[in-house]
């Protein structure tokens, strides 16, 4: 199956300026997603979609393809990501490349690994689904049955019916974890103008793997995680990120090189 890995990384983030290239443990944030994607056995190409020349240069240095720059009008705060995906498909089509599916890999999910990417591809191919999306179990205290409202100073359950207080009695529900992975058949994107097809399958990830960097506090948390992992590696000790949440580099070593597909073209 021909799968395009597409990494969207616009330059105009307001919450964390230039967050996609923010330095974390001596590396740009983008590096973790680039490693995971390039270490995947299932992605046929890995393309960076950005409107920013600095981010493009960083992407090239990490071994990503940057065959075009995204127009500014497609990289605003209110620009739907599906428009960026369709623009990438349009830019790649003249070269004869048209993937069967597109996997969106946001740099703000740095703990997603190559093994997650390959597992999502396997699910899509073996089931024939329209979409595979990564999910994480919602903690019981944030379960819809635990959610409360405050009206005129009074607390009331958000959901109707009898209040369930025991954790064991609450149904397990899931939330998109970014999502860290969103894999969709190209015909659903191009013909139906949708990111989620009717047949959507889950890729379950743990809470530790599901860090979604959305604000400065999230970035600082990842800085602590990455710094601890780097220190443990130097000292020869393992820690939690080396196990359940090891980076893609632990899945398979990668050597960046200047192949024709990676040369500057923007």
Going from the first residue of the chain to its last (266 residues), give the mean pLDDT of each consecutive group of 10, the final group possibly shorter: 97 82 92 98 98 96 97 90 97 97 97 98 98 97 93 93 86 96 98 98 96 91 83 49 40 34 46
Domain ranges, residue 160: 139-172
Residues 95 and 147 in one domain: no
Tell me the CB-side half-sphere exposure of residue 205, using CA atoms within 13 A. 31
Q: Report the C-alpha gap between 236 and 242 in whole angstroms.
A: 11
Q: Give the closest residue to 243 by CA, choosing from 208, 200, 204, 215.
A: 208
Query: Are residues 84 and 212 both part of a single domain?
Result: yes
Residue keyed to tokens 């409202």: 149
**What percent of the residues of the chain are helix, what percent strand, and what percent coil, each to the nearest 5?**
35, 20, 45
What is the structure's pLDDT at 250?
37
Instruction: Quote the pLDDT of residue 151.
Output: 97
Choose the final residue of a domain: 128, 147, 172: 172
Q: What is the per-residue pLDDT for 233?
A: 54
Q: How far is residue 263's CA from residue 255's CA, in Å, rounded to a whole number? A: 15
pLDDT, position 10: 92
Say if residue 132 is in the same domain as residue 152. Answer: no
Q: What is the pLDDT of residue 18?
A: 86
Instruction: Please indicate, yes or no, whether residues 93 and 211 belong to a single structural domain of this protein.
Output: yes
């Amino acid at each position: 199956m021909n799968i395009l890995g597409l990494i969207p990384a616009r330059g105009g983030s307001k919450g964390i300026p230039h967050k996609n290239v923010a330095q974390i443990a001596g590396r740009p944030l983008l590096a973790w997603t680039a490693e995971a994607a390039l270490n995947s056995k299932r992605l046929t190409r890995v393309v960076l979609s950005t409107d920013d020349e600095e981010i493009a240069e960083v992407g090239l240095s990490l071994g990503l393809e940057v065959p075009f720059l995204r127009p500014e009008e497609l990289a605003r705060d209110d620009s739907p990501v599906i428009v960026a995906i369709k623009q990438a498909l349009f830019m790649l089509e003249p070269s004869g490349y048209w993937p069967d599916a597109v996997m969106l890999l946001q740099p703000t999910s740095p703990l997603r690994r190559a093994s997650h990417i390959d597992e999502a591809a396997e699910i899509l191919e073996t089931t024939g689904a329209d979409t595979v999306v990564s999910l994480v179990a919602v903690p019981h205290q944030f379960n819809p049955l635990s959610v409360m409202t405050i009206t005129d100073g009074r607390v009331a359950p958000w959901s109707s019916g009898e209040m369930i207080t025991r954790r064991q009695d609450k149904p397990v529900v899931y939330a998109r974890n970014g999502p860290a992975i969103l894999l969709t058949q190209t015909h659903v994107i191009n013909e139906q103008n949708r990111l989620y097809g009717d047949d959507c399958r889950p890729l379950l990830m743990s809470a530790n793997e599901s860090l979604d960097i959305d604000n400065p506090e999230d970035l600082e948390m990842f800085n602590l995680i990455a710094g601890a992992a780097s220190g443990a590696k130097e000292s020869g000790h393992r820690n939690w990120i080396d196990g359940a949440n090891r980076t893609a580099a632990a899945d398979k070593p990668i050597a960046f090189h200047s192949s024709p597909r990676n040369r500057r073209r923007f």
